[in-house]
Amino acid sequence: MVDEAEARPGLALRVTRWLVLVPLTLLCLWAMLGPSTGETMAFTVGVLVLTVGSFIRDASRKRAMAIGLAISVGVLVVRFWMGAEGETITNTNAPGDDAGRWLDRVVPERELALGGSRLLLVLGMMPGDEPGLLEHLADGYSRLREAEGAVPSPVLGNLVLGQEPDDHGVLRVTPDGASSDAALVFLHGYMGSTTLNCWQVAQGAAALGIETRCPAMDWRARWDTPAGRRIARETIEDLRAESVERVYLAGLSAGAIGASRIGRDLDVDGLILLSGASRRPRPVSVPTLILQGEQDPMTPPELARAYARQVRGARYVEFPDAGHWMVLSHHTRVTAEITGFLSSLEDP
CA distances from 219 to 19, 83, 200, 255 (A): 24, 22, 19, 11
H or E element in which residue 293 lies: strand 288-293
- CATH code 3.30.1490.100 for 89-101+157-346: no
Number of Cα atoms under 13 Å in the Cβ half of residue 294 = 5
What residue type is assigned to position 104 of the chain?
Answer: D
Q: Where are the domains of the chain?
A: 4-82, 89-101+157-346
d(CA 169, CA 158): 9
pLDDT in tens, the chain (348 residues): 445 545 566 889 889 999 999 999 998 888 888 777 888 899 999 999 999 999 998 888 999 999 999 999 999 999 999 999 999 999 999 998 788 898 999 988 999 899 888 888 888 877 655 668 899 999 999 999 999 999 999 988 888 888 999 999 999 999 998 877 999 999 999 989 999 999 999 999 999 999 999 999 999 999 999 999 999 999 999 999 999 999 999 999 999 999 999 999 999 999 999 999 999 999 999 999 999 999 998 999 999 999 999 999 999 999 999 999 999 999 999 999 999 999 999 986
Number of Cα atoms under 13 Å in the Cβ half of residue 316 = 20
Q: Which pTM was predicted?
A: 0.91
pLDDT tens-digit readout, 248-270: 999 999 999 999 999 999 999 99
